[in-house]
Every structure is written in C-alpha cells, then in structure tokens.
Amino acid sequence: MAGLYVHVPFCLKKCPYCDFASAPAASGSMGEWLQAVRKETSLRAPDWKSVRFDTLYFGGGTPSLLDPADVAKLMDLFSCSFQWERNPEITLEANPGTLSGTRLQDFRKAGINRISIGIQSFLDEELRLLGRLHDSAEAEASLARAFDSGFENVNADFIYGLPGQTLEHWRLTMEKAASFPLSHISAYSLTWSNKTELGRKIESGGVETPSETVQSDLFLWTSAFLASHGFQHYEISNFSLEGRRCRHNEGYWKGNPYLGLGPSAHSFTGRERYWNVGDTREYCRLLDLDLRPCSGSETLSRDDIRLETIALRLRTSEGLPLALIQNKTDSCRIFLENGLARIRGDRLVLTENGFLMADELALRLTV
C-alpha cells in the first residue's frame, strides 16, 4: 500500500513557531498552485501506475482554505490517475477559523472522511503566544461544527512544552479535549528553530521553555490521562481510539511508499527518496514549463533502510523486530533492565519512559 500526500502551502498568516513551507496566499497564487499540482500529477502518475494507494492526505499550510469544489476536482483527478484500494482514508488538515458549517459539509461531499484540526491549546494566552488567529471559543466551536457536519473521524492537534506552561495549564487543555468525541489526538512537544520568530526569542533568552523534567512529566501525564479515556498511545505523539489510527502516518512509520505533490513535498519509492523545490513560485514556474519540480534525490542502501526502519519502528507501540538488532544484545539488555523497553513476542517495544529517549535509543541500536 502507498500514501498520497498533497502539500497546500497557503495560510491566512504565518505562525511565529512554524518552519513548514507555508505563507499567506498572494493574489492568483492558489489558482497557479492548483494548475501546477494537476500538471505534476500527470507527470508523476506513469511512475506510480503499478502502485495501489490507500490514503490521501491534504497537509499544509492550511488546506481548509481551499474551495471544497477544487478539492473535489483534485480528488477526481487522483481517482483517474492512480489505482486505489476500497475505502481509502482521506484526511484534510484545517484551522478553526476556516471551518464554517457549510464548508465542512461541502468537504464531506467532496469525499473527505477524516479531518485534522489544529487546535494547539484551549487557553487564550497560549494561543496568543503561538500567534494563532483563533481563540479558545472558536476552537471549541470548530470541533462542534465538525461533529455536527457528520464527521466521525476527527483528530485534534495540540502542543505542549510551551514557554511558561505548567502541568495545570496542560491539564485544562487535555480535559477540554477529552470532553469532545475525538477519535484521535496528536500531542506534540514544542520544537523550535532559530528560523522562526518564536525560536529566535527562545534562543535569545527572551522567553523560557519548561525544563526537560517538566516536559517529561507532561508527556507521561498525557499518556496516562488519555489511556484513562480509552485512547491507545500507538506512536510517540499520537493517540487513538480502537480502529482510528491515522493510516497515512502509519505508512510512514512502516516504511511504505508514498508520493508527495506540491512544493517541498517528499516522495519515497521504497529505495529512492526525492523532494520538490520548496518555493511555491518556483514550483509553479517549473511545472508551467512541463518540468518536474525536483530539488534533490537519494538512493538508500540496504543499511540506510535498516537504520531508518529501526528509528521509525521504535516510535510505535508495535516496536521493532528483534531480527533487525541481533548484534545489539548488550544494548537491549540495558534497555530492559532500566525499564525502557520490554520484549513482546519477537519484538522490542519501548515503554512510556523509553519513548522519552527514543532517538537516543535508536542511535545506540544503529551505531
């Protein structure tokens, strides 16, 4: 199975913590982007004609800025251009301020069956810090509208480890989240880059983030709290009800092939990885010339694939096949003795405390 990802690079405004390839839409740029994606689809489709897709993910940026009619047209194009499994998972990322009830109903009619809403926090002071355009009332209203519009598979994104955030602040957000019939919750620790406004403030000491101890406490508390509400902690940052895991993202963690369309989008065939130019104007210009908008590529060796498999599988509740780490028995024993991992059948599975050190543990198993 494979996943199709479409990068929508447009936002109402750039958030001060975001380093994704996104920017406010200029006049006419969305139409140019749509035409370019159609062109890229026609150029890429022959290379993927033997692959069957089972997920489609509109990411961004803010894909909910798109006209639902344009989303429907793109989905018709993808349906004709690629082979699909029955009942694919089709996700649209959205921000609260872009979700009127009518638009949500139109997205459902277009074929979207999973919506992912970037709430981030239910506290107004934290939303202001993050530069979000919505407040807590709009966040709650957007979730209510999603359910009223008939969406049954709804994810909400949240960020913890914010400057000045305490466990009590985070508890208020999570309790509010648990009051909605969400099928999936993504809870990400704040990561920052000095390329962003917030990152530069943190780097200069203008704002202070919680200590590693506090962030660890937030992570462990979140896992226990959501487990008590029926959520499975199936990947470091992701929690779902039974049968509601994000199939698209699971494909990444399992090493399945994926095709990315749009500026900065990455693709992976199983051996080769390639990625598009990040600048939207350049992306559109190249495709207007009937040129593939590729910025770079690499071919992975067997060792490269093994290393990536170890790092990605350790992030999940299914863990890692022991066969991949037969020569690392000493490292495994240390993990087990320190309560960082356990053996489940023929797999090494990290505990909640192990998840906190997943990158470090993966490094020890790959060097």
Q: Which two tokens stand for residue 317?
A: 């509740």
pTM of the model: 0.93
CA proximity to 287, closest of 8, 35, 66 = 35
User: Cα(2)–Cα(268) distance, rounded to whole angstroms?
Assistant: 9
Q: Where are the domains of the chain?
A: 2-253, 302-366
Q: Which two tokens stand for residue 73?
A: 């047209």
Tell me the pLDDT tens digit for each residue of 25-76: 765 689 999 999 999 999 999 999 999 999 999 999 899 999 999 999 999 9
CATH annotation of 2-253: 3.20.20.70
Tell me the pLDDT tens digit for each residue of 231-254: 999 999 999 999 999 999 999 999
Going by pLDDT thresholds of 50, 70 and 90, the confidence category of residue 198 is low
Domains 2-253 and 302-366 alike in fold: no
Q: Under CATH, what is the fold of the domain 302-366?
A: Arc Repressor Mutant, subunit A (1.10.10)
Q: How many CB atoms lie within 10 A of CB 206?
A: 10
- DSSP letter for each residue of 70-136: HHHHHHHHHHHHSEEEEEEEEEEEE-GGG--HHHHHHHHHHT--EEEEEEE-S-HHHHHHTT-S--H
User: Cα(364)–Cα(182) distance, rounded to whole angstroms?
Assistant: 36
What is the Cα Rg of the chain in Å?
Answer: 21
Question: What pLDDT does 110 receive?
Answer: 96
User: Cα(134)–Cα(97) distance, rounded to whole angstroms?
Assistant: 6
